[in-house]
Amino acid sequence: MGGRIGVLISGRGSHLRNLIAFCRRGEIDAQVVSVISNKPEAPGLQYAEEAGIESVVLSHRLYPDRERYDEQLAEILEQDKVDLVCLAGFLRLLSPPFVRRFPLRIMNVHPSLLPAFPGLHSQEQAMEYGVKVTGCTVHFIDEALDSGPIILQKTIEVLPQDTPDTLADRLLPLEHKTYAEAVKLFFENRLRVNGRKVIIL
């Protein structure tokens, strides 16, 4: 059967759809078995439904603090026996206790070449800075924002006519491909972390 992936979403779910497709085609030796959204209106939930994957809406508004919410989130993922947690546009910073429950088992893709332009609005940040090249980063999550060990990075040129929206649109297919590649490497047991460095075997 391969590995088990839990995906956390907040929005459109394009990364979720992409990971489901890679798994279904056998390009990743795993299956998405759990989808959790903190927003009931997240369009990405329909991709889980269409694929017959169990999904849960867990609204953070129903919990008194981040730690209580994350504790419930972790319990669901542990019940589903996930091997890897993939963030797919999940717009919440995970608490240190959550991260410690899944050490080097939480992955995210970010639309910049970290450590440049962390957080939100990365394309706007890149264009305001005037960079000629940007890209995407897939990294393990640690206890700080967009600071975990980097697994893969891929680049694209920033064109003179680009806007933040056109740059985001051109970058998204590269994000999809790079994220799937990193998840594939994880389930092939080819990633080793030495301090901040991720070594690909």
Q: What does residue 87 show for φ and ψ, rounded to 5 degrees? A: -85, 130
Task: Please answer whether residues 125 and 117 qualify as being in contact, where contact means their C-beta atoms are separated by less than 8 angstroms.
Answer: yes
Cα–Cα distances in Å, from 38 out to 13, 66, 87, 117? 12, 12, 12, 25
Per annotation, catalytic residue among 15, 60, 110, 176: 110
Catalytic residue check, 110: yes
Residue 60 exposure: Cα atoms within 13 Å on the Cβ side: 16
Residue with tokens 């091997």: 83
SS3 35: strand
Residue with tokens 């389930």: 187
Kindly give, in sequence order, each residue whose CB lies less than 8 Å from that of residue 7, ignoring residues fewer than 6 positions away.
15, 16, 19, 32, 34, 35, 36, 85, 86, 87, 88
Task: Read off the tokens for 43.
Answer: 């369009």
Residue 117 exposure: Cα atoms within 13 Å on the Cβ side: 21
Task: Please answer whether residues 139 and 114 qualify as being in contact, where contact means their C-beta atoms are separated by less than 8 angstroms.
Answer: yes
Positions marked active-site: 110
